[in-house]
Amino acid sequence: MGKTILVTTKKHNYPIIIDFNLFDTSLSFSFLKRGDNVMIVTNKIIFSLYFKKIFNQLHNIGVKINYVILPDGEKYKTLVTVNIIYTALLKNLYSRDTTLIALGGGVIGDITGFAASSYQRGVKFIQIPTTLLAQVDSAVGGKTAVNHVLGKNMIGSFYQPNCVIINLSCLYTLSKREFSAGMAEVIKYSIIFDKKFFYWLENNINNLFNLDKTSILYCISKCCNLKAKIVYEDEYEKNKRALLNLGHTYGHAIETQLGYGKWLHGEAISVGIVLAALTSKQLNLLDNKEIIKIINLLKKCNLPIKGPINMNDKQYIKYIYRDKKINKNKINVILPLQIGKTIIYKNLSEKIISNAINENKNLII
């Protein structure tokens, strides 16, 4: 039933293995061999859920296993936390033949990837994403980063994993709020690239939230295929890969202003997608009927569509100027032209941004 998708880059290729019950067989870890040194990076909650199963499979192979447990939450996605991994590696005399395994959601994956890219100038690492958001987006494509108090994901690197293992059974232990947050990234893909996928989501939301196996496998495989294609075309985000940041310019501003972790990443991105759509409307680029369809799909997923009531346009703009797409102090934003088609809109004015934010505040939902 499962699927394997190959991510191809200039330097190396790696598989995304997608199926249920992947922690129940050593075959999932067949790329490791007896005597390999492995450091598993996780948090307390994920450790209690999955570590024993993974330990047993790795032990069967004959892998040398150690682990480090990080504090849980977006607010801990910092250089201070990365240093915990470095310290554990150094204390255990781990060298360049080490493989780091990121076992957790997007925060764990981003931190572990960054540590792998920088420890002794680079060691192998494996992504085992346990949340929907990480499975469809952050674990694939090699973006690694930590946050700074002045901006989200401002310190990082492009560093591809050696494998991504997506155990769909992890979704059974995911909270409804976390699942909804992941759906924001799923919907993002459909708005950027694939109108038919958007319509499929409209018709299959209940199946997805009920964790129907066929629907879940199709949805996550679809997103991973779209991500793999764009990574192949533009690994280092020089052009087309920037489209994957739909909603993120506004969403990151929300996360930074409120304090990391107050809103889940997907919740902030949901509002960011709406704000991007309203920005397109201000520029007469997007039909209002399309905006209504986008808003309705986000609402079906129990996602917010209005920004924080105590956050004004000036606060958004302050953080937008720290966005990674800024070039020569010009604001560049990903905007939808229609469902299934987006552009990189360059030199967006502050006035248009303010108008979109104020329209969002006045939305009647």
Is 241 tagged catalytic? yes
Do 150 and 8 belong to one domain? yes
Task: State mean pLDDT over 164-173.
Answer: 98
Tell me the pLDDT band of 288, cut-offs 50, 70 and 90. Answer: very high
Clarify whether 240 is annotated catalytic.
no
Whole-structure pTM value: 0.95
Q: Give the model's pLDDT for residue 174.
A: 97
Query: With bands split at pLDDT 50, 70 and 90, how would you rate the model's confidence at 307?
Result: very high
Reply yes or no on whether 245 is catalytic: yes
pLDDT of res. 30? 86
Query: Is 252 found in the same domain as 146?
Result: no
Q: 289 with 269, same domain?
A: yes
Domain around 311 = 176-361
- Region 293-302 average pLDDT: 98
Select which of 152, 188, 241, 324 is catalytic. 241
Which of 124, 188, 222, 265 does the annotation list as catalytic?
A: 265
Instruction: Mark whether 158 and 185 lie in a shared domain.
Output: no
Does 159 share its domain with 225? no
Q: Is the dihedral of CA 235, 238, 244, 245 positive or negative?
A: positive
Q: Residue 266: enclosing H or E segment and its boundaries?
A: helix 265-282
Residue range 311-333: mean pLDDT, rounded: 91
Q: Does 154 share its domain with 181?
A: no
Instruction: Pick the catalytic residue from 167, 245, 332, 360.
Output: 245
Among the listed residues 237, 255, 267, 290, the single catalytic one is 237
Q: Give the type of residue at 315.
A: Q
Confidence of residue 1 (pLDDT cuts 50, 70, 90): confident
Q: Point out the domain boundary residue: 130, 152, 173.
A: 173
327 or 190, higher pLDDT: 190
d(CA 85, CA 249): 29
Per-residue model confidence as pLDDT tens digits over 69-82: 999 999 999 999 99
Q: In the annotation, is 265 catalytic?
A: yes
Q: Which residues pair with 13 in a beta bridge?
A: 8
- Whether 327 has a pLDDT exceeding 90, the answer reads no
Instruction: Check 77, 124, 143, 281 and give the catalytic one.
Output: 143
Q: Which of 117, 145, 173 is the last residue of a domain?
A: 173
- For β-strands 64-70 and 98-104, DSSP reports them as unpaired
- Angle, CA 159 vertex, CA 157 and CA 163 arms, to 5°: 150
pLDDT, one tens digit per residue, over 102-141 is 999 999 999 999 999 999 999 999 999 999 999 999 999 9
CATH classification of the domain holding 320: 1.20.1090.10
Establish whether 185 is a catalytic residue.
yes
Q: Which helix (H) or strand (E) holds 226?
A: helix 213-233
Please indicate, yes or no, whether residues 164 and 222 belong to a single structural domain of this protein: no
Active-site entry in 152, 252, 281, 324? 252
Rounded CA separation 290/293 (Å): 5
pLDDT score of 323: 85
Q: Are residues 24 and 156 in the same domain?
A: yes
Q: Which of 173, 189, 214 is the last residue of a domain?
A: 173
pLDDT bucket at 235, cuts 50 / 70 / 90: very high
Domain count, the chain: 2
Do 262 and 137 fall into the same domain?
Answer: no
227 is catalytic: yes
Mean pLDDT of the chain: 95
Question: Looking at the structure, do residues 50 and 161 belong to the same domain, yes or no?
Answer: yes
Shared domain for 114 and 31, answered yes or no, is yes
- Give yes or no: 252 in active site: yes
Q: Which helix (H) or strand (E) holds 321?
A: none
Same domain flag for 253 and 158: no
What's the CATH code of the domain at 100? 3.40.50.1970
